[in-house]
Amino acid sequence: MHGPSEAAPKVDQMDLSIYAIEVLSRLDQTIDAVEAAYREYQFNIVAQCLYQFFWNDYCDWFVEAAKSDIFGEDEARKKSTLAVMDVALSAILRLLHPFMPHITEELWSMFRFAKAQFNSLPNLRSCCCHFPAGRP
């Protein structure tokens, strides 16, 4: 990783790439789908949504697209991209926590995320709720 995260990573909208905006939008859609599935006790849908976001959107697509920003010359863009990665990864760990609590807590401490309470879900959308989602 790139070191310990700030307590609340600052995502500067002016320095975001189109890839960062898109992954935050997809994260917002995933959070909505997961919350709806939890309300209906459809745990298979929760697991499927989390898997699809983590594997298809985050790992397969965003991490690869973000490499150009991370290894580029623009320091502001680099910091912003790393902050988006922190926001998305911490959100994934928080959303996965009900399924695999011991593993997600261990990953949380290994990634040296902020000392904030691990299961504080109310702040989960603090950085990404203002990005457009693909719905009306």
* Residue 133 pLDDT grade (very low, low, confident, very high; cuts 50, 70, 90): very low
pLDDT of residue 35: 92
HSE-up of 10 (CA within 13 Å, CB side)? 6
What are the backbone angles phi and psi of residue 63, rounded to the nearest 5°? -60, -40
Q: Which of 52, 63, 60, 2 is nearest to 27 (CA)?
A: 52
Give the mean pLDDT of 119-131.
46
d(CA 115, CA 72): 30
Query: Which tokens hold the place of 17?
Result: 């790439």
Give the mean pLDDT of 103-129.
63
Give the mean pLDDT of 40-57.
95
Give per-residue pLDDT as tens, 92-112: 998 998 888 898 888 888 887
HSE-up of 40 (CA within 13 Å, CB side)? 10
d(CA 31, CA 52): 12
In the predicted structure, residue 113 carries a pLDDT above the cut 60: yes
Give per-residue pLDDT as tens, 63-94: 999 998 889 898 888 888 888 998 899 899 98
